Amino acid sequence: MKLLFLGDVMGKAGREAIIERLPELIEDFSFDFVVVNGENASHGRGLIEGHFKAIVEAGADVVTLGDHAFDQRETLSFIEREPSLVRPINFMDGTPGRGATLITGRNGHQVLVINALGRVFMNPVEDPFGAVEKAIADCPLGEVADAIIVDFHVEATSEIQAMGHFVDGRASLVVGTHTHIPTSDQRILNGGTGLMSDAGMCGDYNSVIGMEIEEPLNRFTTGLVTGRFTPAAGEATLCGVVIETDPKTGLCSSIEPLRVGGSLSQALPVF
């Protein structure tokens, strides 16, 4: 299988880039399955239903969230009726929605997508390692799922790397989201799991992690809050990671970064 994962969609610039570029990427590279992190898609914080549907219509099979999952209040209601929308699995019991979902890809294969939230430098949540462990045990790779993707929404690269080793040999891909900065450490671990510390964002990089420069710079230089953060509106770069899986095992056989458009250096997969 050929799977594409795209990092945090940041505001209108990120949404427009997804709508414009994702269908062509799917056609050009024959991706069997696409996961997009959408937790910043609506005004930089959260995801409203209309924006969720636009990302799905552009070609996303699953949309994941993160620490801003419920910043838009309407998400609390529509997440319950959308099996392809996944919030962190280690939120407290009773949180609306689901933390893992099994979805049929374009080739008929079953893909398990798990979303988890880190605990280092983040607000308190339940244990992500135990929650991911249970989700994989309930839907094991090669038995129920043909591929497993874990979106681990973290601040610390140490935590995402630990998760990669924790599930090595039991998941196809573990990829970090949240920092909005694409890392260049994509690799296949000893057990066959693909790992990338952060997929980066789908947004305008002429910014401070996707926000217009003025207010973040002001806060760093003066310590004062004088306005609101506003998503940058220039041309976005789509950032993510592409993997191929072994048809027999579901493990990762190749992994490459993807960067398209905007101001970052470009990178396209070579199959």
> Which residues are identified as catalytic?
68
How do 173-177 and 2-6 pair as beta strands? unpaired
Q: How far apart are CA 12 and CA 181, in angstroms?
A: 18
CA distances from 266 to 101, 182, 213 (A): 31, 12, 23
Q: What is the DSSP letter of 90?
A: T
Q: What is the DSSP letter of 236?
A: P
- φ, ψ dihedrals at 269, nearest 5°: -70, 150
Q: How far apart are CA 150 and CA 135, in angstroms?
A: 10
- φ, ψ dihedrals at 178, nearest 5°: 110, -45
Do 232 and 211 form a contact (C-beta atoms < 8 A)?
Answer: yes
Q: Whose structure tokens read 């002001």? A: 218
User: What crossing angle do the helices spanning 11-29 and 49-58 adopt, rounded to 10°?
Assistant: 20
